[in-house]
């Protein structure tokens, strides 16, 4: 077994990685003859995301690329809240505590911070992302192409492990059939998942290894300490980081107030209403109120799926803020960091329950960035 000091001591110090985590990550990276498919689960605040990022960096010391399937719509690692995404990572992440946003290989906008509202749609999106990885990065059907190599996959999961959340995890495990399951356990035993292969109701598709590790934070009595997170604050901050991408990297925006003013003065894209359809993901809206309901909301900018895709799931190219709508002129005004070339393919606006952070709604002393329907301020527009 590889000791903690042999893997990545700098990363250990930076994120307070305990030695039992380092040993587990090293064992995963070195033991498998085939790239592993690793499913990481456990209750909320147990450290799943931190361990996933550490394992990602550990695997990248052996493999050129590592897949990262992010299934936590409330606290995603590399995408804004409300998204399910697959990332192919080819560089070691410099920091484990605050990962930067990345452009996913494939992304779906679920439009909520929990799978509770629509478990079936959540599972369909997750299974589609998994199938996309397996077909494109894990199964090599071209023996004459030695340059095509398989990659490992890390599947990070949300911390909802009771009731319906438990049932969803079981469905994911049965469908994905990972080669290795890592369960992170805390000292409050009734909050943990059952030990062993709790998802098995028959014969497994392939052999699976199990690793149980304790949470990283321990007190003097060797009990795990839950690190409570400000979930709402973290989601808002990730959204702020996402929309900060609307501006050049060298633009000095250091506070939420500065970002609010910058967004208020940013010329929006203009989209003809006739070019897009609206899909409400988790509720029904009267036909007469569809456009009005979009005003001052965050939407997923999506592309209609291929008819061959079953079930039909539109791919998301990014998020946008609907800054204003002129129903009479048939125009929609959107703020988004998505480049114009990608916007050209967008034909769907997906509306869920991801809210605009209040810190960028409160802009005093200037034109509000979020206009009332049919009331247009004098702004310069960027045409699509």
Q: Are residues 210 and 237 in the same domain?
A: no
Low-confidence ranges of the chain (pLDDT < 50): 1-11, 13-14, 219-221, 366-367, 372-381, 383-384
Q: Are residues 196 and 249 in the same domain?
A: no
CATH assignment at residue 111: 3.40.50.300
Q: Are residues 184 and 237 in the same domain?
A: no
Nearest to 315 by CA among 336, 340, 285, 345: 345
Q: Are residues 83 and 194 in the same domain?
A: yes
Q: pLDDT at position 7, please?
A: 46
Domain span holding position 358: 231-383
Domain total of the chain: 2
Q: Are residues 195 and 241 in the same domain?
A: no
Q: pLDDT at position 376, please?
A: 35
Contact indicator for 22, 103 with CB cutoff of 8 Å: no
Q: Does 220 map to a domain?
A: no
Q: Read off the pLDDT of residues 178-204 as tens digits, 9 standing for 90 and up.
A: 999 999 999 889 999 999 999 988 766
State the residue for tokens 């995408």: 79
Please give the Cα distance from 263 to 242 (Å, whole number): 12
Q: Does 226 map to a domain?
A: no
Q: Read off the pLDDT of residues 267-324 as tens digits, 9 standing for 90 and up.
A: 999 999 899 999 888 877 777 777 778 888 999 999 987 655 556 799 999 999 999 8
Please give the Cα distance from 381 to 190 (Å, whole number): 56
Q: Does 50 map to a domain?
A: yes
Q: Does 219 map to a domain?
A: no
Q: Are residues 188 and 246 in the same domain?
A: no
Q: Does 93 map to a domain?
A: yes
Please give the Cα distance from 15 to 237 (Å, whole number): 20
Q: Are residues 208 and 237 in the same domain?
A: no
Q: Are residues 181 and 95 in the same domain?
A: yes
CATH assignment at residue 260: 2.40.30.330
Please give the Cα distance from 75 to 83 (Å, whole number): 9
Last residue of a domain, one of 158, 188, 214: 214
Q: Does 224 map to a domain?
A: no
Q: Are residues 239 and 170 in the same domain?
A: no
Last residue of a domain, one of 189, 214, 239: 214
Last residue of a domain, one of 185, 214, 243: 214
Strand partners, 195: none
Q: Are residues 255 and 201 in the same domain?
A: no
Give me the helices (H) in the chain, please: 9-15, 19-31, 48-59, 119-133, 164-176, 231-244, 256-264, 290-294, 340-343
Angle, alpha carbons 301-229-193 (nearest 5°): 90
What's the whole-model pTM score?
A: 0.87
Q: Does 245 map to a domain?
A: yes
Q: Are residues 299 and 177 in the same domain?
A: no
Helix-, strand-, coil-residue percentages of the chain, each rounded to 5: 30, 20, 50
**For residue 17, what are the contacts with CB-CB under 8 A and spacing of at least 6?**
4, 11, 50, 54, 96, 216
Q: Are residues 291 and 324 in the same domain?
A: yes
Q: Does 275 map to a domain?
A: yes
Strand partners, 153: 37, 67
């Amino acid at each position: 077994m590889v000791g903690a000091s042999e893997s990545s001591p700098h990363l250990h110090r930076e994120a307070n990685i305990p030695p039992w985590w380092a040993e587990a990550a090293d064992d995963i990276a070195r033991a498998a003859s085939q790239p592993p498919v690793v499913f990481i689960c456990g209750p909320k605040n147990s450290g799943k995301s931190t361990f996933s990022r550490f394992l990602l960096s550990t695997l990248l010391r052996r493999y050129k690329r590592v897949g990262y399937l992010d299934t936590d719509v409330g606290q995603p690692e590399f995408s804004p809240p409300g998204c399910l995404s697959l990332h192919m990572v080819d560089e070691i992440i410099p920091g484990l505590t605050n990962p930067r946003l990345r452009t996913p290989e494939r992304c779906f906008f679920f439009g909520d911070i929990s799978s509770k509202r629509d478990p079936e749609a959540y599972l369909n999106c997750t299974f589609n992302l998994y199938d996309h990885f397996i077909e494109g990065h894990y199964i090599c059907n071209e023996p004459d192409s030695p340059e095509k190599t398989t990659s490992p996959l890390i599947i990070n999961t949300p911390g909802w492990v009771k009731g319906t959340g438990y049932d969803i995890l079981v469905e994911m495990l049965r469908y994905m059939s990972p080669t290795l399951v890592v369960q992170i356990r805390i000292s409050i035993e009734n909050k943990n998942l059952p030990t062993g292969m709790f998802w098995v109701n028959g014969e497994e598709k392939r052999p699976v290894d199990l690793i149980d590790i304790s949470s990283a934070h321990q007190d003097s009595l060797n009990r795990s300490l839950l690190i409570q997170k400000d979930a709402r604050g973290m989601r808002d901050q990730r959204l702020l980081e996402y929309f900060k991408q609307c501006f050049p990297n060298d633009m000095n925006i250091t506070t939420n107030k500065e970002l609010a003013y910058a967004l208020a003065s940013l010329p929006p894209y203009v989209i003809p209403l006739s070019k897009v359809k609206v899909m409400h993901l988790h509720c029904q809206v009267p036909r007469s109120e569809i456009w009005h309901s979009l005003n001052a909301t965050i939407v997923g900018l999506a592309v209609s799926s291929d008819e061959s895709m079953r079930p039909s799931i539109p791919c998301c190219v990014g998020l946008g803020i609907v800054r204003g709508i002129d129903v009479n002129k048939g125009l929609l005004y959107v703020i988004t960091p998505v480049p114009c070339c990608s916007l050209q393919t967008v034909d769907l606006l997906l509306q869920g329950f991801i809210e605009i952070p209040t810190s960028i709604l409160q802009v005093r002393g200037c034109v509000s960035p979020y206009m009332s329907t049919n009331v247009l301020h004098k702004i310069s527009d960027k045409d699509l």
